[in-house]
Amino acid sequence: MYGNEAQMKELFDQVSYQCSKAVISKYSTSFSLGVRLLHRDFIDPIRAIYGYVRLADEIVDSFHDYDKKELLEGFIKDTGAAIRNGISLNPILNSFQQTVNKYDIDQELIDAFNKSMAMDLEKKNYKREEFKEYLYGSSEVVGLMCLKVFCEGDKELYASLKESAMQLGSAFQKVNFMRDFNHDFQYLGRYYFPELSSAKLDEVTKKNIEKSIDKDFADGYAGVVKLPKKARFGVYLVYIYYLRLFNKIKRLPAENVLQSRVRISNGQKMFLLARSYVRHSLNLI
């Protein structure tokens, strides 16, 4: 009536990936659409990675009425057990461990990510070396986890694209910091960029930060165009979304960045999707 053990585990794994899909659909329309445009081999594992990092981020950013440190420590402990055992009753962790074990994602990347999440429990502003460490763990390693999936065991390709994947992750995260500047300070008491001596953003500082993001985008794009075709279009679309968001931020005065959260409308996203599809079809990316 219930099928054999292997069939039931497969069914549970399918349910777990559906939970990861629900997370990315609810939390990020941009990433959700980009992932849907990947080759079907990559959709579930990339959703699993996103679901995992989103869950950790929610612990440190949103669950204010609970003991965040205890929640995060339990989450990290459960992650290790899930990867070792090849199963977790937490569907998000179960889909993540499936992806980690299938694509041989390095434990160092997971540890670095969780270390950055722990930093968010304590740190309110960052000096240059601290910011570099935080950025690596919170975003660059996520790019590397995804790259592990895209390379499908090709170590030479992974090594050649590693730096670009890190820079692209860095660009996305820095844009997030600029977009969420007001929220991070007003509600979480944080400001990340070491260029800031206080939670104030003047025009000179804004330009300096934007210069570093421009470089990250350029270095990241150099890797996007070299990705396997199965991954290129989906990653390119997310790159284009974030670049458009960044360009909107660049056009704003510093004081406006502090007061509002910049967004891309759904209409703009559909336009960018159509234009990106044409470029992809003509092999222009």
204-219 pLDDT, tens digit each:
999 999 999 999 999 9
For residue 2, pLDDT over 60 is answered with: no
Q: pLDDT value at position 91?
A: 98
Task: Give backbone dihedrals phi and psi of 284, rounded to 5 degrees, phi first.
Answer: -95, 5
Query: pLDDT per residue over 72-92, tens digit each?
Result: 999 999 999 999 999 999 999
Q: pLDDT value at position 190?
A: 83
Query: pLDDT per residue over 160-203, tens digit each?
Result: 999 999 999 999 999 999 998 877 877 787 889 988 766 678 89
The tally of domains found in the chain comes to: 1
Q: pLDDT value at position 29?
A: 85
Cα(42)–Cα(117) distance, integer angstroms: 26
* Domain assignment of residue 199, given as a range: 5-281
Q: pLDDT value at position 1?
A: 45
Q: pLDDT value at position 198?
A: 64
**In contact, 99 and 149? CB cutoff 8 Å:** yes
**pTM here?**
0.93
Write the CATH number for 227: 1.10.600.10
Range with the poorest average pLDDT among 38-42, 123-127, 237-241, 269-273: 123-127
User: What average pLDDT does the chain have?
Assistant: 92
Q: pLDDT value at position 85?
A: 97
